[in-house]
Chains A and B, each alone.
Chain A
Amino acid sequence: MNSVTEKRPHIASIRPRNTRWFIALLGVLALAPMFIYPIFLTKLLCFAVFAMAFSLLIGQTGLLSFGHAMFFGGSAYVTAHALKIWGLPTEVAILLGTVFSASLGLLVGLVAIRRQGIYFAMITLALAQMFFFFCVGLPATGGDDGINAVPRRELFSVIPIADDRVLYYVVLAFFIASFLLVYRVMHSPFGQVLRAIRDNEARAVSLGYEVGRYKLIAFVLSAALAGLAGSLKVLVFRLATLVDVSWSTSGEVILMALVGGIGTVTGPLLGAAFMLTLQSALQGLAQWMPVAQGAVFVVTVLLLPRGIAGTLGQIRKRSRHNPSDKPINHVTTPHGNNRAARALVDKTDTNA
């Protein structure tokens, strides 16, 4: 287990080759409704955006949020309420939902970022649980029934999203915008600083970076994006429920990101596709879902820690012998540099 020579998944730079892949992907997504039920695809894109939001956070900053459902579901509630109760235009409702999530992200981030690693995860879980209870008690959320029959009014007063196909292309537009945004962030100086903080926070501090602020911005961005996904989801299902803010939803997005490949660009989409396919496969056996999810977690961590996209990228790289690969980062590859893990390896190493 040669941790120092393990390679970091290559973060694709903007090269002609990649642009071609991207166009191809767009083509596939544009034509997909002809072959696959549009609602399924729209749902896929919503969850892909959700997964991108989560993956951005853990991939670039190494922060594992166990409570991302609060941003997704919180925004869903706000959007649903804005559309149904306040009768606001669709685009305003989406904006409100996203802004709400960003604000909640700011509040939560200010608290949670004070601890790192597993503590951070536990704190986000606890705060999300608190938000869950808050939603349970709040009459405006509709309690167990949720907010249903949410109207799908024309976007910008012209685009008829009541039609499932039109909605698909609208959501696709949002997906592409999010995709490009995430891509841009990953390849910006901001993204580089985030990765530097993730790999060696002490060093980043000594270099003069305001580590807390960077992490907070990334967190808020991630929350906002998750909120966008939640808003879009309301348009698809015309429904916002307690499930959206529950920790099972938090768990699902983690699974999607993990299976797809943390830190990769296409991972979230692949992971979302995998999850939704799994869900439809288990259609009649809903009570097996947690077992299936748990099994996927276990298998992925043990056998495919890089996820689908990550492993494919690894295979592709090995066959190209790219010499410019740099040493590992500690989240997207499994062999961590963290002291605790090393101590434990020393404790139990049976390979003399």
Chain B
Amino acid sequence: MDELFGIPLPALAGQLTLGLINGAFYAMLSLGLTVIFGMLRLINFTHGAQFTLGAFGAWMAMQYLHIPYWGALILVPVVVAALGILTERILLRRVYQMDELFQLLLTFGLALIAEGMLSVAYGSSGLPYDNPMPGGMDLGFMFLPYYRAWIVTASILACFGTWFAIERTRLGAYLRAATEKPQLVRTFGINVPRMITLTYGFGVALAALAGVLAAPMDQVKPAMGSALIITVFAVVVIGGMGSILGSVVTGFALGILEALTKVYYPPASSVVIFLIMTIVILFKPVGLFGRQA
């Protein structure tokens, strides 16, 4: 068959691939938010800007240091994470005892500054970034670009790696314990404040990594994070801020669902995730994988 419900298979497959890619980004970004929230009880509104910084970092690394994509993939998340760690130590720590809404506003302000500075420096139209894996493979019913396959693979690896680190390693056990009872864990001699800082750094690294992955997709623009992050918030509300696995699964699922909507009912495609969010809130407010705090 070369049609599914009236849509030719190549078109469907093409859209689904895009959906999978969007889902890959949704998954990575909501994973980063969940990890940070679990440990710090903070909604990191700066996440979108950190994603954008990742993309710009890749561009800058190429432009000024002639570091190619594969080097940027390792280097940029580390640098952006370092920036995040500085931010946490100098700024975020001061607002932990404030109402959570003030914390939100602080991270929001930081996002505005970061994106604003990039906009001032590089304008709002995009900067190009070369595709490091040009070409693709012919699968018969569709043409799959190598880079797109790479994005999905990288995202799955990153998500799985994070899950594994948290659920199956000793460090992850420290993290889970400190999330539950931070005071008690300190009495074991474990430096919980440092762990918090590093957790934030890790979440930021995930955002920046996603940014590097995104750079060759389209152009690198200052606003690329802020548009994406609002959708990611909806994803997080749908999945619930409870589980690592939940945010990954929800991210990918919603990406695919969005793509299907684009194919079969285009007018709703930009709002379908928000619609689902509304439905989830009405029927299961804590989210699909959420647990009542």
Contact = CB atoms under 8 A, between A and B. Distances in A.
Interface of A: 1, 3, 58, 62, 64, 111-112, 114-115, 117-119, 121-123, 125-127, 129-130, 133-134, 137, 247, 251, 254, 258, 287-298, 301-302, 305, 330-331, 334-336, 338, 340-348, 350
Given A301-B109, A343-B182, A125 B271 contact: no
A302 B99 contact: no
Contacts of A298: 91, 106, 109-110, 113
- B102, B115, B192: most-surrounded residue (chain A CB, <10 A): B102
Q: Is the interface of B mostly helix, strand, loop or mixed?
A: helix
Interface stretch (B4-12, B65-73, B125-133, B275-283): B275-283
Contacts of B224: none
Interface residues of B, number: 55
A251 B281 contact: no
A62 B42 CA distance: 17
A347 B112 contact: no
Interface stretch (B53-61, B163-171, B233-241): B233-241
17 contacts: A58-B101, A115-B237, A119-B237, A122-B43, A130-B271, A137-B267, A258-B105, A289-B116, A290-B119, A305-B98, A334-B95, A334-B98, A341-B98, A347-B178, A347-B182, A347-B183, A347-B196
Nearest to B226: A247
Interface in B167-201: 178, 182-183, 186, 192-193, 196
A44 to B, nearest CB: 22
Contact of B274 (A129, A247, A290, A301): A129
A11 B41 CA distance: 31
B218 interface: no
A350 B193 contact: yes
Contacts of B186: 347
B117 interface: yes
B291 interface: no
Interface string B259-292: 0000000010011001101100110010000000
Contacts of A129: 230-231, 274
Contacts of A137: 267
